[in-house]
Amino acid sequence: MITAKDYVEEILRAGFTAKFNTTSGEIVLGDTTICDNGTDINISLAKDNAKLDIKVVFTEKSAMASLTAFTGDDNIKFVPENGIVFNVYGLKKPEGIRQIIVPYSCCTHTAYCNDYDKMFEKTQAFFAKYGDKHFNAITICGENFKTWFSANTVRMSTDCECISTMTGSFASVSVADDPFVAIKQNYLDARALGGITAPLKHERSSTIDKFKGLGWCTWNAFEEDYDENKIFEKLEKLKALNVPIDWVLLDDGWLVHDEDKKLLSLKMDSKKFPRGMKAFVDTVKSYGVKHVGLWHTIVGYWYGMVEGSEAHLEQKENLIQLENGMIVPSLDPETGYKFWDDWYRYFAESGIDFVKIDSQTTYTHQLRNRDKSVRELMPIVYGYIEKAANKYFDGDIINCMGMDILNTQSRPHTLISRNGEDFWIDSMPASQFTYLMAQNVYNSINHDQMYHCDYDMWWSTDVTATKAGVLRTVSGSISYLSDPQEGFDADKIMPTLDEDGSVLMGDHAGYPTLDCMYEGNGTGVLKVWNEYGNSYGIAAFNSSEVDSGDNISLDNISGIDLDRDYVCYEYFSKSFTRMDKTTRIEFELKLDDVMAYSLYPIECDEGGEYIMLGNTQKYTGYASKFKKKTYLSEIF
């Protein structure tokens, strides 16, 4: 297999079957016809009046598949889960498969296997390695369904029992010599062909401008147990340390709710904030904070609003009651928008600059079994929320717990999206940090194609602080603190910031090095890389439970110019090394160790060879905007 078309033809040669699961039982389709027109392949399967038409369209490097499926009777509906199932047989075994999976509702994670029959039940995307070729496959939301890959199967679900005809794209595959090139091309082609209808990352109208500096969040510091004075005390401590905080996020805890996690009021809790929201925000900004944001869920609070409460009565005409009893913003575009417009106006008039929206994938579950597919409903929900956010906050939303394709492929404008689970490492810091790091790094490969990945908050006073800080500088993520301890450690914070106080941030999300892409290289070390212009950063973390060793080499960085020489600087050893494509920089890591490398291309002028060197007091100066021309004669 060499091209995406070869991959599709391999599936057809190996053989596949299709069945419908309907309200009248299982329909196994046969009567297959295949027509290869060169630029596309059309496949038709039928059983009595039931019919399935698949069209695979090819670009130079990709293949995208769409379908139209009819149960044969308008009164016969697809069942909500696995309404269509394709079984694929006898595919050639790859050398390795890196999967992006959904083990539970909120976030994607990663898994490795070496055979298609071992793939996870809910796989959102995967890479398969065949020799020097990397195949990337992604699932796509159709017009009224979503798609999963699993062991030798592709499954489509409507999440309702009201649809007799499914239509739309369901998957795309691309092939390249480099896995990161393969997935980027796959998304570009699926978008250009109309399969992915939401904007890709570079097309989104929102920006990260408000989040280029360091942030602070209330959640790990206090959970819900905070008031304005506790927040001011934290800001005083940061000010005393000369740690520049550009933005502050009030997480869960500022709203009034009952014991069932239902909202009583849409106003800020007057007991915790007796002066009101505007006076509180003004005080926060008096500390030099530029932007203040508020947390809420996609329905206001976890389980909506209390019936008969102030919140319910104020917005009654803009709310509906779901079948499970939850009172939530209306699913009608006009009245749903009115709710968010009213609430966000109150925020904006009080000086709020952005919001964080939680519990997004959970809402896709709560919307099941209605008179429309969840796929049809989510663009409506995101459409009116983001319309209001655009009006009042320049569209600045931190999306949270929403990594299902029903979320990611439905948002029209917003750019930032949480890339993994909550940063919470109290009980087993080393293993939990490793778990969260791997989750975020491998998630980034897929999630970064559509969103600016948010690795969540970190703690400067924890035993993981150095590793967490280094990870942030190669992650490409926005960066924000939430120490649960009394104070902060400026010595751990400042190496993550550029000379102007902005976060050291690469050109994209942090990715695993090529030798860590699949099963790993057997060392127990995870290496993460990023780039900024023509400079590169690599962080190496010991992910095992014993001391480990590995090496840094140019050929494990995607896209680097192997015909150039580089100078490599490592922060902790304070060492410089000249590198070419044959160089291997060996290192040893104890259990909690980390190495932080910056690679600078060597230039030459009349004064000799030089590099544009980033600040060596920063973990990874590769991402600095303030590089200094430094001749190699000054270094070696």
pLDDT at 1 over 70: no
Rounded CA-CA distance 317/305 in Å is 13
Residues 6+ apart with CB under 8 A from 430: 463, 464, 591, 592
What number is the average pLDDT over the span 129-144?
98
Outline which parts of the chain fall under CATH 3.20.20.70.
209-418
For residue range 87-121, list pLDDT tens digits in order: 999 889 999 999 999 988 789 999 999 999 999 99
Structural tokens at position 513: 């090095």
Residue 255 identity: L
- What pairing do the DSSP bridges indicate for beta strands 416-418 and 327-329? unpaired
pLDDT score at 426: 72
pLDDT tens, position by position, 296-354: 999 999 999 999 999 999 999 999 999 999 999 999 999 999 999 999 999 999 999 99
Q: Are 6 and 134 in contact (CB under 8 A)?
A: no
Q: Quick one: tokens of 312? A: 């319910």
At residue 428, the pLDDT reads 67
- Sequence-separated (6 or more) residues with CB below 8 Å from residue 160: 80, 368, 369, 370, 371, 372, 373, 374
* Residue whose C-alpha is closest to residue 367's, from 378, 354, 356, 383: 378
Over residues 170-193, mean pLDDT: 98
Q: Where do the CATH 2.60.40.1180 domains begin and end in the chain?
A: 511-635
Kindly tell me the burial class for residue 378, based on how many C-beta atoms sit within 10 Å of its own C-beta (0-12, 13-18, 19 or more).
buried
Identify whether the C-beta of residue 611 lies closer than 8 Å to the C-beta of residue 602.
yes
pLDDT for position 332: 98
What pLDDT sits at residue 523? 79
Residue spans of beta strands (DSSP E) within 361-457: 397-399, 416-418, 452-454
H/E element, 170: strand 165-176
Name the residue with tokens 């060879």: 609
Instruction: Give 146-156 pLDDT, tens digit per residue.
Output: 999 999 999 99
Average pLDDT on 597-603 reads 99
Written as one string, the DSSP assignment of 228-270 is HHHHHHHHHHHHHTT----EEEE-TTSS-B-TTS-BS-SS--T
Q: What is the pLDDT of residues 564-576, one digit of tens each?
A: 999 999 999 999 9
Q: In which order are the strands placed within the sheet that holds 354-358?
A: 452-454, 416-418, 397-399, 354-358, 291-297, 247-250, 215-217, 480-481
pLDDT given at position 419: 98
Distances 569 to 26, 437, 531, 612 between C-alpha atoms, Å: 62, 23, 15, 12
Q: What is the sign of the dihedral through the CA atoms of 213, 214, 219 and 222?
A: negative
525: closest CA among 538, 540, 535, 539? Answer: 540
Which homologous superfamily does the CATH classification assign to the domain defined by 511-635?
Golgi alpha-mannosidase II (2.60.40.1180)
Which residues pair with residue 126 across a beta bridge? 99, 137
Rounding to the nearest 10 degrees, give the CA dihedral for residues 584, 588, 589, 594: -40
User: Dihedral of the CA atoms 65, 559, 494, 585 (nearest 10)?
Assistant: 130
Q: What is the pLDDT of residues 222-272, one digit of tens each?
A: 999 999 999 999 999 999 999 999 999 999 999 999 999 999 999 999 999
Averaged pLDDT score across all residues of the chain: 97
19 pairs with which residues across the strands? 28, 85
Architecture of domain 209-418: Alpha-Beta Barrel (3.20)
The residue type of 529 is W
Q: Of 124, 127, 102, give the one whose Cα is nearest residue 112.
A: 127
The predicted-structure confidence for 519-551, as pLDDT tens digits, reads as follows 876 779 999 999 999 999 999 999 888 999 999
Cβ atoms of 188 and 22 within 8 Å: the answer is no
Predicted local distance difference test score (pLDDT) of residue 2: 83
Q: How far apart are CA 583 and CA 567, in angstroms?
A: 11
3-state secondary structure 474-503: HHCCCCEECCCCCCCCHHHHHHHECCCCEE
pLDDT tens-digit map of 461-497: 999 999 999 999 999 999 999 999 889 999 999 999 9
The Cα–Cα gap between 203 and 604 comes to 37
Digit-coded pLDDT (tens) for 420-458: 999 887 766 778 899 999 999 999 999 999 999 999 999
pTM reported for the whole predicted model: 0.97
